């Protein structure tokens, strides 16, 4: 020991003399030694290329809107891996498309970060939605399940009002639900399909946002799900790509409007992600086995890989972030 350490140890012993259990010299010496910081080891690293399943995947098809529980391999939404740290304590969130895919990952993460969560989904997705409700409640948070069709303006208004009423308010709106149907030619896109895509992806976002604004206070957040196809539209996703480009413009314009109210508006533009959107018509059946292989990472993303992005954009940590578009594309250009 150095003279300084000996003097420090002696003071600790004398100072503890009146206590029931005085410090011994050995204990004092241990306290006097500087702590050695833990050194991270190689085991903490994981190769992102091999972290999740890679193509080829089994050929599979589902009727719209599809179920995560029937996909092979099943998507990872963070059910067993996401760990929260109280970053959204006391917040109240409404997430559309919260039964599966990216919306489900956000719902699980929000609940484990301390938020109460309302999810919207279609009646046909009830099986997946029940799992999400269970996971939210297991996290000790309130779960509100509100099925219904976002293509109807009156339902969008009722959805927001019910979510705000049952949650006791609203702080976060995640416009995530989407319709995607691959067609090789514009000649194959019916007016019914075009109308359904526009109403699900764009009209609902407009209706829900208008209905939510009276409930949102300074510090609240709106998060819209766009896509890499807004920048690099595939030939087979003509109508879907158009809506995603419009969502980015909508996000940036609305962010400018609402900045004066202290409400942040951002978007997330994912690349290829393994969700029920894909086997239920979002990809051509022959293309699905190689889905995501074209990404530099060599695989599609899993929904859990976006959970932290949605948490960040909803949290106070992103207080100076608005009008932004966050990408997660596995290396594909997103600009």
Residue 82 known to be catalytic: no
Residue 67: both structure tokens together: 């179920």
Report how far residue 243's alpha carbon sits from residue 249's, in angstroms, rounded to the nearest whole number: 10
The one catalytic residue among 121, 231, 240, 310: 240
Helix or strand run (H / E) with residue 121: strand 116-121
Report how far residue 69's alpha carbon sits from residue 36's, in angstroms, rounded to the nearest whole number: 47
- CA R_g for the chain: 25
Report how far residue 178's alpha carbon sits from residue 214's, in angstroms, rounded to the nearest whole number: 24
Q: Tell me the H-state helices in the chain.
A: 3-15, 25-32, 101-112, 126-138, 153-167, 191-198, 204-212, 238-258, 304-314
Report how far residue 12's alpha carbon sits from residue 27's, in angstroms, rounded to the nearest whole number: 9
Catalytic residue numbers read: 240
């Amino acid at each position: 020991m150095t003279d300084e350490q000996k003097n420090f140890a002696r003071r600790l012993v004398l100072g503890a003399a009146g206590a029931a259990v005085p410090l011994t010299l050995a204990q004092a010496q241990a306290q006097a030694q500087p702590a050695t910081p833990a050194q991270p080891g190689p085991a903490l690293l994981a190769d992102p290329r091999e972290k999740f399943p890679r193509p080829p995947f089994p050929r599979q098809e589902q009727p719209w809107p599809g179920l995560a529980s029937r996909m092979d391999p099943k998507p990872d939404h963070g059910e067993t891996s996401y760990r929260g740290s109280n970053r959204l304590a006391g917040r109240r969130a409404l997430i559309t498309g919260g039964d599966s895919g990216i919306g489900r990952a956000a719902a699980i993460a929000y609940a484990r970060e301390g938020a109460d969560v309302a999810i919207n989904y279609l009646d046909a997705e009830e099986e997946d939605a029940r799992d999400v409700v269970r996971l939210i409640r297991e996290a000790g948070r309130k779960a509100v399940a509100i099925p219904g069709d976002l293509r109807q303006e009156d339902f969008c208004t009722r959805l927001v009002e019910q979510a705000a009423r049952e949650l006791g308010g609203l702080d976060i709106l995640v416009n995530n639900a989407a319709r995607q149907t691959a067609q090789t030619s514009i000649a194959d896109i019916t007016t019914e399909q075009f109308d359904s895509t526009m109403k699900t992806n764009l009209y609902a976002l407009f209706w829900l946002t208008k209905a939510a604004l009276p409930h949102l206070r300074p510090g609240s957040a709106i998060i819209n799900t766009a896509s890499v196809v807004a920048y690099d539209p595939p030939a087979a996703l003509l109508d879907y790509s158009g809506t995603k480009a419009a969502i980015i413009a909508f996000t940036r314009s609305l962010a400018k409007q609402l900045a004066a109210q202290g409400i942040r508006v951002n978007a997330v533009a994912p690349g290829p992600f393994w969700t029920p959107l894909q086997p239920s018509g979002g990809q051509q059946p022959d293309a699905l086995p190689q889905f995501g292989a074209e990404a530099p990472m060599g695989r599609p993303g899993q929904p859990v890989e976006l959970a932290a992005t949605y948490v960040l954009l909803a949290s106070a940590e992103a207080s100076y972030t608005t009008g932004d578009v966050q990408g997660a594309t596995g290396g594909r250009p997103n600009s």
